[in-house]
Amino acid sequence: MDRRRAETKAPAKKVPGKAKPETKSSNKEDQFSRASGRLKELQKNTVSSASRVKAAASNQSVAPKSPPKSTNAYKARPIEKTKFRYFYDRGDLPLRINFNGAVRKVQWQVDITTLDYTHYLPLFIEGLRELDEPYKFLALNGTLDLLEKGGDRSLTSIPHLILPMKQNLMTRQPQILCTQMKVLQKLVLLCPYAGEALVPYYRQLLTIFNLFITKRGTIQNA
């Protein structure tokens, strides 16, 4: 019995290589040191980012700002020679200028009602781009005469008029724009159902009108 009591009371032998268990105080110190290290890193990052922002702001204030480039949306485009000029110089158009009297007039050499409107009306509307005389005078007055005496034939030729009208508007010449708008108004007023026939072509014609919708200036002799 004494031997058993001695064995139970004998102290436990230390096993080499085993570390002592960490205490609660050491764990708290380690956590505190880690948190303080993270806090210092965050402070360094914030300081560096703030310095970068200041440097970028100083560079922007020093560098001169270049103005945006102009798109030249309202700039007039060059005008090419039209077929109207070519045919008139060649003598293929059945009209001439009558200088008898105080006011010059257009004198037709044939009956207007016998003309092919799908050929002549687009040709005269293309001539509205001309700014030189006598082409300008002949094209405008010839177009108005054709519209006044054409009746329903102007309606059937509307699909052929869209391309020359669009080309006239694309020149962005204020004088040509005003002339084209006057002719377009005349077409709608004189030809029944012309407004309805133009509806499918609004996307081709109204883009330039939308561009110049804010232009309120007056044009002399337009």
Q: Shortest CA distance to 98 belongs to which of 143, 148, 137?
A: 137
Q: Report domain extents, the chain.
A: 83-212
pLDDT(214) > 60: yes
CA dihedral for 162, 163, 165, 171, sign (positive or negative): positive
The CB-based long-range contact list for 89-94 (8 Å cut-off, 24+ gap) reads 93/123, 93/138, 93/142
Q: What is the pTM of this model?
A: 0.64
User: Per residue in 13-71, pLDDT tens?
Assistant: 544 544 455 555 566 666 667 777 676 776 666 656 656 666 665 655 455 677 787 77
Give per-residue pLDDT as tens, 179-211: 998 999 999 888 888 888 888 888 888 888 888
* Better-predicted residue by pLDDT, 101 or 6: 101
Cα distances (angstroms) measured from residue 89 to each of 12, 81, 83, 105, 138: 128, 12, 10, 18, 12
Question: 107 by DSSP, 3-state: which?
Answer: strand
Question: What pLDDT, on the 0 to 100 scale, is given for residue 44?
Answer: 63
pLDDT at 24: 53
CATH of domain 83-212: 1.25.40
